A and B are shown apart, each in its own frame.
Chain A
Amino acid sequence: MIPAIVVFIYLGIVLYVGLFAFRKSTGSKEDFFLASRSLGPWVFLLTVFGTNMTAFAILGSSGLAYQRGIGVYGLMASSSGLIIPLTIFLIGTRLWSLGKKHGYMTQVQYFRDRWECSTTGTVIFVVTALMMIPYIVIGMMGGGHTLEELSGGLVPYWMGGAVVAVVVMAYVFFGGMRGVAWVNALQTVLFLCFGAIAFYLISRNLGGYDKIIAEIAADPKDSALLTRQRISPQEFFSYAFIPLSAMMFPHMAIMCLTAEKVTSFKRTVVWYPICILLIWLPSVFLGVIAAHQFPGLKMGESDDVILRLLAGNTDVIVAGILGAAIMACVMATDSQIMALSTMFSQDVFAHYGGTKRYGDNAQVWMGRAFVIVIAVVSYVLALALQGQKSIFDLAIRFGFSGFAALAPVMLAALFWRRSNKWGALAAVLWVVACMAFSWWLQVHSNPLAPKPGQPPVPIFAELGNLFLRTPSNVTVFGYMPVMFMCLGSALWVFVVSLLTRPPSRRTIDKFFPESKATLLPST
């Protein structure tokens, strides 16, 4: 129970920080939804990083390393270390500038103006909002499970989930974006320290990491964990497309609008790969250690191996502090709830005349009301579908692919003046169709799924290796569907834009002022 008490104290601190942010608020719309666009470089780095790191970074990565070995670091972390800061550099800075210049608070507002079409924006709103909900539900579930595990069952799942829901709801409701940013900065510091401390304490208790690795290398059953044998080269290559999703997540895009200056992005871009290294390296190591310590866990069961290692190898107080760090990751739901609230109040309420009719203050209260609605609905879903966690896990995996495949739409909007609404709409429909088809294929091929370590099997024998089923995924010629979704999305936006009418001169001049300058006669 002591670790759980430590976690409760941590939750109290988080709540205090969030409520303190409320005292600093000005009460304006821009302040509640974007912290008055005032975040400095360090808070911005910690907040953006904390926003993007969910429970998966610690729990999921170690669970996956347990199953597939050290290759998980290259599969997910090192590619993200290049692609995510690159997208922040290319997309995040431009979104920030557009937000500041035109007052945008969400991506959808920008898309509506850039594509000169309300409907395309609405379609993107619906698709992105639907893809966000599983993340929030999984966060609630993660909170419930973590507290249950740390308290040895004394805090039941329903109560753990409720505590997390209430704490998050309270500081988002009162503190708005400033509360979310400050809490995220605190949480990021905590979980950046977590990995190194947990790794040191656990490996020391087990006799030193070099000794454990030597044992794993000598064990013919486990030695494959030190190589990439359990990951195919095709999967490894195509996985590099997944980090393209980062800047398409509404909570990440909206977070980019909170920076005070464009120079605030510099530190984030440079330090992001190092922050990823600091979190993922210990998590992957601990997953491999766990595979040697308690073998035989199935996919899904292995997600709590870090909690098991902590419980067995550290003092109860330390386990509590490290448990709090895990909660910090799990509670990344705050920025997702904030993003959905901002999108609803801005892209629906304000867009359809609510703000004009009832004023800015009403919009802020509408945003707050929506925070409560999302938190309550997510908690109820987390309770009602407790046994169906795998469905949400699956939805998140598809969500990553879907967001990644929307990246070409954003790139076209920002950098290609000829791109238009028809191209964007075609790409979005392509992404939706691909996700629906992949989902169907996944469910259809579940009975065929091979066991871990076995080769993939064709889903339709007559189509050969076109669609293959691995233990956990559907692939296309061995490659992850996300690769084809991204390439297809880029192709659709390119071809359809070229075949249809370009955007109006007014829109091009608004978003590409340099093109206006080149048309002017030189003096």
Chain B
Amino acid sequence: MKTKHWLLTVWVLIVFALHQDVWNWTKPGPLLFGMLPPGLTYHLGYSVLAAITMVLLVKFAWPAHLEEDTPNDQQPPTKKP
């Protein structure tokens, strides 16, 4: 496996581990913008981090070979008579 793929694997494992924010378990405040409790704010940020992780995977580990491996012999769909 390439170094790039190792780094991405470690990154994904770190992101997975970050899901367990035990330090936010019983904190009701302070509220962000007067409405977001800390536990929820953290996981909103986590969703954005997940999206960033996906951007990294798509950019640096995209399985482009799958497209090349696939025969493109499909006929264009013909209309029903």
Contacts and interface: CB of A to CB of B under 8 A. Distances in A.
B39 A228 contact: yes
Nearest to A94: B66
The size class of the interface chain B forms with chain A is 35 or more
Interface centre among A26, A96, A263, A270 (most CB of B within 10 A): A270
A96 B66 contact: yes
Contacts of B37: 70, 213, 226-227
A276 interface: yes
Interface string B39-75: 1101110111011011101100011101101110010
Contacts of B77: 26, 28, 31, 36, 38
A209 B34 CA distance: 9
A236 B48 CA distance: 19
Nearest to A263: B67
B33 interface: yes
B2 interface: no
B20 interface: yes
B26 to A, nearest CB: 5
Contact of B43 (A73, A210, A240): A73
Contacts of B35: 209-210, 213
Interface residues of A, number: 55
Given A82-B19, A240-B19, A277-B44, A227 B26 contact: yes
A227 B51 contact: no
18 contacts: A73-B43, A78-B50, A81-B50, A100-B71, A101-B69, A209-B35, A210-B31, A210-B34, A213-B31, A213-B34, A214-B31, A227-B25, A228-B25, A233-B25, A262-B64, A273-B48, A273-B51, A274-B51
Contacts of A36: 74, 77
Interface string A44-83: 0000000000000000000000000011011001110110
Interface in A377-418: none
Contact of A73 (B40, B67, B70, B71): B40
